[in-house]
Amino acid sequence: MPAPGEASPDLATETFLAHRNLLFTVAYEMLGSAADAEDVLQETWLKWAGVDLAQIREHRAYLVRITTRQALTRLRALDRRKESYVGTWLPEPLLTAPDVAEDAELADSVSMAMLLVLETLRPTERAVFVLREVFDLPYDEIAEAVGKTPAAVRQIGHRARSHVSARRPRGDVTPAETRGALDAFQKAVETGDLQGLLDLLAPDVVFLGDGGGVKQAVPRPVVGADKVARLLAAGSTRLPAPLRPAVVNGHPALVLELEGEVDTVLTLRVDEGKITGLYAVRNPAKLSHMDTETALRR
């Protein structure tokens, strides 16, 4: 039997598991790291297991509050780690079930492009934006989660929303449009078609690579269609294996596998029919979880 004041193990476990995907998505969107999000869930469970559920009116809201507070603490530590990171830091990619792409709002919120936009927010701004704009939590619940007043949360939310709106993709892009751009891009890369790449890339396209100081990657952003196209065309002659399509962070992407392990994940951002962002993650520490699908749900 549970000790006085503790939840029944079965009820505590069932409640936690019922909301686990939601909690993971909240943590992942705040942190941009699947490994750190999993650690946050472990910390959330440890705190949740000792709670007297009879005293909790809204179980989901309470779990989200624990997760948010743990994620905020970890986010500040993660920001310090990024200061000494070798090269460009990119979020950890996630293989996602194909049906995640059907939820356009969820897919947009976990896209590599959006996670990079969220990186430009302060920790509390990021938490408020995710909880309000993605999960539509009421301001009083968000206030409890971040330790602010509802009035302050409204102001923070307005500021974060304006910040994100100025930097997010310029128009709605359907999965079919992204898939079309990706298919054409894959063909051009694999054949070394320089003109084909130039036709696909926006004039101000940005190519980012993350090797974490372990794998070779572009050390700094490569900007401009001509530079990016020539880099990709030259690299196509050295591809050690075919690229395979995958659904990553809710969007079509390309994966390079070597000897049964993921070597590179390439995602892209499409704006108004042109590729404006290319993101290549090669850091092995960020790809170790790519052999299993991670469910992202509200």
pLDDT digits (tens, 9 = 90+) for 204-253: 999 999 999 999 999 899 999 999 999 998 887 778 888 999 989 888 89
Handedness of CA 217, 219, 223, 224 (dihedral sign): negative
Q: Which amino acid is at 298?
A: R
Confidence tier at 288 by pLDDT (50, 70, 90): confident
Angle (CA) 32 160 106, round 5°: 50
pLDDT digits (tens, 9 = 90+) for 169-191: 666 677 788 889 999 999 999 88
Least reliable range by pLDDT among 159-173, 187-201, 242-256: 159-173
pLDDT digits (tens, 9 = 90+) for 34-52: 999 999 999 999 999 988 8
DSSP state, 55?
A: G
pLDDT digits (tens, 9 = 90+) for 65-96: 999 999 999 998 888 888 889 999 999 998 87
Say if residue 2's pLDDT is above 70.
Answer: no
**CA dist., res. 139 & res. 157, Å (int):** 9
**CA dist., res. 120 & res. 137, Å (int):** 22
- What is the CB neighbour count within 10 angstroms for residue 212? 18
Q: Is 211 exposed, middle or buried (0-12, 13-18, 19+ CB in 10 A)?
A: buried
Q: Is 136 exposed, middle or buried (0-12, 13-18, 19+ CB in 10 A)?
A: exposed
Say if residue 294's pLDDT is above 60.
Answer: no
pLDDT digits (tens, 9 = 90+) for 98-147: 666 566 677 788 889 899 999 999 999 999 999 999 999 999 999 999 99
- Specify the DSSP element, H or E, that contains 243: strand 243-248
